[in-house]
């Protein structure tokens, strides 16, 4: 029993991909390049994580010797086949960041880590800044000196908050009055004179052991190559005909799964720090890796469910019945709550403590992304929580497909909210570029996965747990 992509599916995905390309071209000519790069980073990260979640799901099932999922393992396996493409997209974005084609990562600016510079170096640096940003909005200064863009409400015009914002509010005002350019102050000095770098950022210098370009690129290569290795290996071994040698085959898969989990446990956290948390380099959160993981797993499960529903509505995957759907639904429900738990743990401690360098992270989002930031909680928590609460909802392919589609968009918004404030601050938009690029990546991801699914029989006939999966009952 094989799957073949129907004409309708193929055309829809092609339209999505064409829309994505159009959006990219439109963005290159019509939109600020920083915003285009930031969007590429959002989609690069999100869809790589989506594919990674497929490989993670497969690994967990083998390592846990789970029988129920034996009949549907082709889908998460196939999702992992997108990893090389996602990796290339990410590497393009990172490569452009390292060569200063974009300024997604504030900390990659080496000048900020120099304690002493010469006057000419300072002049040159500030000329560069002015040329890049027209002297107006300073994207380099995402946190350090806010030029007041998109600001100005929240502290002053709300008397009730005057005292309550306290230290954070004062810090914001202090930042807006700080000068951005210093070269004039040193104009009288000779060019070769060494001076204390007024742009020196002791926090970035202190973190440079972790946040430096060679380590960043090397680690990114290790993460991506490691994940791709495991994804391809799972797929290859899974397609092997292991008649008569099922036990040996299964032990091999179990060990591979266990090793992947060890690798994933470390790299899912460190990649989250490197790629996402370092966008706001002054801020840190100790549970950020798990937060990323929770979002990754929910969106991955949603994707598995969506693919499964597509196959089921074509009359395939008859061996996967409502009992298997029920378990996937429970997974999705539970991990939506887990995601919320981490989201809230991160938010509440920072809100409560109200320490300036921490609270600015949420202040940015509250002031410039107000609706999306609150919508994020509704779409990713309240919605699945209420809809998936009953047993019947979790056993219906239609309901799960609906919730899955919404959650895929919801967690994309979550990643959008992680990347955008630190890269484009208030200059974000939600137009053809964002929607088109998202759809383009949906098309690319869907195409890659469905093509991989169509290349192998849907049922792994020699899987030792296939019989157990057929009798699964909850």
Partner 1 sequence: MSKKIIYGLFDDEEVLLKSAKQLVKSGVYIRDVFSPFPIHGIDPVIGVPRTNLHIAGFIYGALGLATAWAMIWGLLIIDWPMNIGGKPNFTFWENLPAFIPISFELTVFCSAHGMAITYLIVNKLYPGQEPYNPDPRTTDDKFMMQINLEDTSVAEGEVKEMLQSGGAIEITEKEV
Site string for partner 1, 159-188 (x = CB under 8 A): -xx-xx-x----------------------
The single-letter DSSP state of residue 380 is I
Whether residue 466 contacts residue 71, with contact meaning beta carbons closer than 8 Å, is answered with yes
| Exposure of 152 in the CB half-sphere (CA atoms within 13 A) | 6
Closer CB to partner 1, 243 or 353, in the complex: 353
Site string for partner 1, 289-328 (x = CB under 8 A): ----------------------------------------
The single-letter DSSP state of residue 58 is H
Least distance from partner 1 to the Cβ atom of residue 390, Å: 8
Contact with partner 1 (CB under 8 A): which of 215, 229, 313, 351? 351
Least distance from partner 1 to the Cβ atom of residue 330, Å: 13
Q: For residues 59-118, which are near partner 1 according to CB under 8 A?
A: none
**Could you tell me which of 138, 66, 120, 90 has the C-alpha nearest to residue 328?**
66
Count how many residues are written for the chain: 474
Task: In whole angstroms, give the CA distance from residue 69 to residue 274.
Answer: 33
Is 344 near partner 1 (CB under 8 A)? Answer: yes
Is 348 near partner 1 (CB under 8 A)? Answer: yes
Is 347 near partner 1 (CB under 8 A)? Answer: yes
Locate all alpha helices (DSSP H) within 240-285, ordered by sequence. Answer: 246-271
Contact with partner 1 (CB under 8 A): which of 354, 377, 402, 406? 354
Residues linked to residue 445 through DSSP beta bridges, in sequence order: none
Least distance from partner 1 to the Cβ atom of residue 69, Å: 20
| Exposure of 340 in the CB half-sphere (CA atoms within 13 A) | 20
Is 355 near partner 1 (CB under 8 A)? Answer: no
**Could you tell me which of 155, 180, 183, 186 has the C-alpha nearest to residue 168?**
155
| Exposure of 101 in the CB half-sphere (CA atoms within 13 A) | 12
Degrees to nearest 5, angle at CA 167 with 162 and 172: 80
Sign of the Cα pseudo-torsion (375, 377, 380, 381, in order) = negative
Closer CB to partner 1, 131 or 163, in the complex: 163
Is 153 near partner 1 (CB under 8 A)? Answer: no
Closer CB to partner 1, 347 or 432, in the complex: 347
Query: In Å, how far from its chain's centre is CA 382?
Result: 21
Whether residue 276 contacts residue 45, with contact meaning beta carbons closer than 8 Å, is answered with yes
Q: For residues 362-421, which are near partner 1 according to CB under 8 A?
A: 389-391
Contact with partner 1 (CB under 8 A): which of 29, 134, 353, 461? 353
- Total residues in contact with partner 1, by rule CB under 8 A: 16
Least distance from partner 1 to the Cβ atom of residue 1, Å: 27
Is 243 near partner 1 (CB under 8 A)? Answer: no
Closer CB to partner 1, 232 or 349, in the complex: 349
Closer CB to partner 1, 168 or 256, in the complex: 168
Whether residue 38 contacts residue 464, with contact meaning beta carbons closer than 8 Å, is answered with no
Q: Catalog residues that contact partner 1 under the rule CB under 8 A.
A: 160-161, 163-164, 166, 344, 347-348, 351-354, 389-391, 473
């Amino acid at each position: 029993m094989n799957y073949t992509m129907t004409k309708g599916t193929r055309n829809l995905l092609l339209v999505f991909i064409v829309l994505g390309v159009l959006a990219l071209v439109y963005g290159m000519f019509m939109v600020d390049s920083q915003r285009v790069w930031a969007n590429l980073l959002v989609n690069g990260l999100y869809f790589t994580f989506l594919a990674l979640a497929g490989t993670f799901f497969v690994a967990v099932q083998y390592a846990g010797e789970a029988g129920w999922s034996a009949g549907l393992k082709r889908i998460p396996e196939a999702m992992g086949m997108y990893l090389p493409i996602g990796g290339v997209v990410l590497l393009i974005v990172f490569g452009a960041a390292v060569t200063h084609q974009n300024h997604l990562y504030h900390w990659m600016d080496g000048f900020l880590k120099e304690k002493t510079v010469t006057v000419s170096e300072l002049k040159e640096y500030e000329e560069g800044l002015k040329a890049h940003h027209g002297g107006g909005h300073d994207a380099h200064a995402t946190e350090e000196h806010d030029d007041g863009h998109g600001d100005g409400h929240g502290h002053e015009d709300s008397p009730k908050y005057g005292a309550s914002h306290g230290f954070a509010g004062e810090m914001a005002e202090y930042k807006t009055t700080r000068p951005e350019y210093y070269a004039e102050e040193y104009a009288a000095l000779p060019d070769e004179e060494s001076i204390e770098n007024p742009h020196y950022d002791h926090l970035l210098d202190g973190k440079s052991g972790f946040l430096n370009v060679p380590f960043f690129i090397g680690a990114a290569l290790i993460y991506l190559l490691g994940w791709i290795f495991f994804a391809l290996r799972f797929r290859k071994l899974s397609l092997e005909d292991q008649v008569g040698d099922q036990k040996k085959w299964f032990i091999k898969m179990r060990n591979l799964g266990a090793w992947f989990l060890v690798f994933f446990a470390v790299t899912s956290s460190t990649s989250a720090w490197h790629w996402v948390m370092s966008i706001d380099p002054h801020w840190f959160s100790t549970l950020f890796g798990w937060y990323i993981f929770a979002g990754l797993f929910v969106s991955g499960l949603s994707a598995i469910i969506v693919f499964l529903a597509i196959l089921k509505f074509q009359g395939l995957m008859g061996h996967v019945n409502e009992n298997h759907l029920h378990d996937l639904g429970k997974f999705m429900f539970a991990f939506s709550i887990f995601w919320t738990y981490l989201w809230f743990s991160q938010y509440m401690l920072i809100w409560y403590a109200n320490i300036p360098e921490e609270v600015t992270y949420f202040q940015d989002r509250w002031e410039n992304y107000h609706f999306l930031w609150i919508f994020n909680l509704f779409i990713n928590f309240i919605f699945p929580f209420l809809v998936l609460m009953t047993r019947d909802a979790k056993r219906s392919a239609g309901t799960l497909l609906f919730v899955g589609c919404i959650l895929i968009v919801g967690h994309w918004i979550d990643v959008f909210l992680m990347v955008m404030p630190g890269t484009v601050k208030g200059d974000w938009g939600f137009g053809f570029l964002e929607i088109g690029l998202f759809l383009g990546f949906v098309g690319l991801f869907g195409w890659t996965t469905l093509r991989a699914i169509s290349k192998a029989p849907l049922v792994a006939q020699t899987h030792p747990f296939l019989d157990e999966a057929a009798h699964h009952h909850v």
